[in-house]
Amino acid sequence: MTSYTEPFWSALEEGRFLIHGCDGCEEAFFPPSPICPHCHSTDVRWEEASGEGRIHTYTRQHTTAADFEDGIVVGVVELAEGPRLLAGIDARYEALSIDDPVDLEVRRYDQAFDRGRLADSPFYVATVRSE
């Protein structure tokens, strides 16, 4: 058996960011799961997101676990399609504001944390889009 989320990581390698859509209630959601968290329908499918979103909130962590750089900037990104997710933000903290437009970008994973079966998979960060 393969992991349910395998299509997400395969698509990410090709530069595409997949989320889920639900045919039971028409809501989009993330992370992907075979059960819709809005209506509990199992009539769900993979959908490609634009990768565009806005910063809903954010912080800069001055101290982190040993596997991570201190001073990392992280936040909640609200995708254009609706779902929200946590992401690292590749930007100077001082330059950020709530509602800034961002793009999710595929990146090589560069922290020391061991992602197990996904150790060689890319990850994603949010970058600020100039409007």
Partner 1 sequence: MTGQPAPTVSGIGLVPNGRYSIPDRDLALGVIREAVAEAGIDLSAIDGLYMPSPRPWTPQGFFSTYLHRLLGLETRRSIEVATGGTSGGHAFHAAVENVRSGAVEAALVLALERHSLIETTGPYFDYVATLFDREFETPIGLTIPGVYAQSLRRYLFEYGIEREDVAEIVVKNRRNARANPNALFDEAVTRREVLSSRPIADPIRLYECPAPCDGAAAVVITDGPSDGAAEPPVSVAGIGAHHAASHLLMSHRNEPTELPAIAESASRAVADAGVGVDAIDVFEPYTPFPHIEAIFAEELGLVGRGEGVDACLDGTTAPDGAHPISPSGGCLGRGHPPMVTPLLNHVEAVKQLRGTASTQVDGAEYAMTTAEHGHVNGVTATVFTTEAPA
What is the contact surface with Zn ion in residues (CB under 5 A)? 22, 24-25, 36, 38-39, 41
Comparing CB distances to Zn ion, the nearer of 38 and 56 is: 38
Which of the listed partners (Zn ion, partner 1, none) does 39 bind, with a CB threshold of 5 to 8 Å by partner kind?
Zn ion
Which of the listed partners (partner 1, Zn ion, none) does 33 bind, with a CB threshold of 5 to 8 Å by partner kind?
none
Distance between CA 5 and CA 72 in Å, rounded?
26
Query: Using the rule CB under 8 A, is 62 a contact of partner 1?
Result: yes
22, 36 Cβ separation under 8 angstroms: yes
126, 105 Cβ separation under 8 angstroms: yes
- Residues 71 to 130 in contact with partner 1, rule: CB under 8 A: 72, 74-76, 83-88, 93, 98, 109, 111, 113, 115, 118, 123
From residue 15, how far is each of 21, 23, 116 by CA, in Å?
A: 19, 25, 21
CB atoms closer than 10 angstroms to residue 64 = 13
Query: Using the rule CB under 8 A, is 11 a contact of partner 1?
Result: no
Distance between CA 119 and CA 131 in Å, rounded?
35
- Residues 18 to 47 in contact with partner 1, rule: CB under 8 A: 29-31, 37-38
